[in-house]
């Protein structure tokens, strides 16, 4: 199922012959829910990231954004916190904060994931309240950008752009991973023969960014024997004081930012877009997720 849909998620019932003890931690409850939910691998990965992000809100903290999100371990949260009277207010604050950095469609998708998990936890009688009950979906300020079609993706990969862009777009499309995670890839953690790289988040150690054989060839050409530092680099040297992990130790160039990657993608795809505004990286990523779920 597409992770942007607002439909109710189906799940398999727990085996009543050997019931498991209710989890104490929110993270364990997330694992149990995702084990039972009827989701494809790509959608399951998206749901896990969305559900994990709510952990900060439940303890009154703001989740890291942008590059700071990479490598940020979520706080340990007791599941019982969802039954507290102030849980709904904390989530409402988090929704308002999230709206300043993401579009309404993204926020609503993340909220839908939490609602579905909370409903399942209530059915298991692990919690008694629904802290999402008073939360409303955000109104979109415009029509959501449509997912790219297969013919549009084919036209995209015919554009005369740099090897860096071709490689980045192919990894994003093949994997359906978050843009930040793809940009966070490091050369020393790339497994070219296995066509994969670990998602750069401690709580996601069991998950991988995966791509197809042809994309491994592009990555090999891009790295050209380079075995350290960020995979996707800007054309300029890093600014003074930049995080060492985001700087190539050989060239001194910085890791490419989300903003710059989005600007390049929009400019390059403007001739292909009927509206002449250019496409978004989110549209390409969602096209990859749709393909993965249909496989």
pLDDT for position 244: 84
Q: For the whole model, what pTM was predicted?
A: 0.56
Confidence band of 61 (pLDDT split at 50, 70, 90): confident
**pLDDT for residue 246 is more than 70:** yes
Burial class from Cβ neighbours inside 10 Å (0-12, 13-18, 19+) for residue 85 reads exposed
260/268 Cα distance (integer angstroms): 12
- Backbone phi, then psi, for 11, in 5-degree steps? -145, 160
Beta-carbon contacts of residue 21 (< 8 Å; ≥ 6 apart): none
Task: Please give the pLDDT value at position 133.
Answer: 87
CB 55 within 8 A of CB 26: yes
List own/partner pairs for 63-69 with CB under 8 A and 24 or more apart.
Answer: 63/94, 65/101, 66/180, 66/257, 66/258, 67/180, 67/184, 67/243, 67/246, 67/255, 67/257, 67/258, 69/180, 69/201
- Give the residue-averaged pLDDT of 53-72: 73
Q: What is the pLDDT of residues 259-291, one digit of tens each?
A: 788 889 989 999 998 888 889 898 999 899 888
Is the pLDDT at 154 greater than 60? The verdict is yes
Strand-strand pairing, 196-198 and 208-210? antiparallel
What are the structural domains of the chain? 1-142 (1.10.150.130), 150-294 (1.10.443.10)
**pLDDT given for residue 2 in this prediction:** 44
The region of weakest confidence among 14-28, 96-110, 190-204 is 14-28
Burial 266-285 (b: 16+ CB within 10 A, else e): eebbeeebeeeebbbbbbbb
For residues 127 and 83, the answer to whether their CB atoms sit within 8 Å is: yes
Cβ-contact 82, 129 below 8 angstroms: yes
CA 69, distance to chain mean position in Å, is 11
- Is the pLDDT at 136 greater than 80? The verdict is yes
The pLDDT value recorded for residue 19 is 55
Mean pLDDT score of the chain: 83
Neighbours of 15 (CB within 10 A): 8
How far lies 141's CA from each of 98, 113, 145, in Å? 15, 21, 11
pLDDT confidence tier of residue 140, bands split at 50, 70 and 90: low
Q: What angle do CA 109, 67, 93 make, to 5 degrees?
A: 45
Instruction: Tell me: pLDDT of 4 over 60.
Output: no
Give which of 110, 107, 131 is closest to 119, Cα–Cα: 131
The residue-averaged pLDDT of 224-247 equals: 85
In Å, how far from its chain's centre is CA 55? 15
């Amino acid at each position: 199922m597409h992770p942007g849909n607002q439909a109710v998620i189906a799940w398999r019932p727990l085996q009543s012959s050997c019931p498991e003890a209710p989890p104490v931690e929110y993270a364990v409850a997330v694992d149990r829910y995702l084990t039972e939910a009827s989701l494809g691998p790509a959608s399951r990965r998206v749901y896990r990231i969305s559900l994990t992000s709510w952990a900060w809100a439940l303890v009154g903290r703001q989740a890291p954004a942008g590059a700071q999100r990479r490598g940020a371990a979520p706080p340990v949260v007791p599941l019982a916190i969802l039954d507290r009277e102030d849980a709904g207010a904390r989530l409402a604050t988090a929704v308002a904060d999230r709206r300043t950095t993401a579009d309404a469609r993204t926020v609503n998708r993340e909220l839908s994931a939490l609602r579905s998990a909370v409903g399942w936890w209530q059915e298991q009688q692990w919690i008694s309240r629904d802290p999402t009950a008073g939360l409303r979906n955000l109104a979109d300020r415009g029509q959501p950008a449509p997912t790219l079609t297969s013919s549009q993706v084919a036209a995209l990969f015919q554009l005369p752009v740099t090897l860096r862009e071709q490689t980045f777009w192919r990894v994003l499309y093949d994997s359906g991973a978050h843009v930040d995670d793809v940009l966070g890839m490091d050369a020393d953690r790339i497994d070219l023969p296995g066509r994969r790289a670990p998602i750069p988040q401690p709580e996601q150690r069991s998950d991988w960014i995966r791509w197809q054989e042809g994309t491994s060839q592009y990555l090999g050409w891009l790295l050209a024997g380079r075995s350290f530092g960020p995979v996707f680099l800007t054309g300029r040297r890093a600014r003074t004081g930049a995080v060492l992990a985001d700087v190539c130790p050989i060239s001194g160039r910085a890791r490419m930012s989300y903003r710059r990657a989005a600007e390049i993608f929009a400019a390059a795809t403007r001739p292909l877009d009927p509206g002449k505004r250019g496409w978004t990286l989110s549209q390409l990523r969602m096209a990859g997720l749709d393909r993965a779920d249909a496989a």
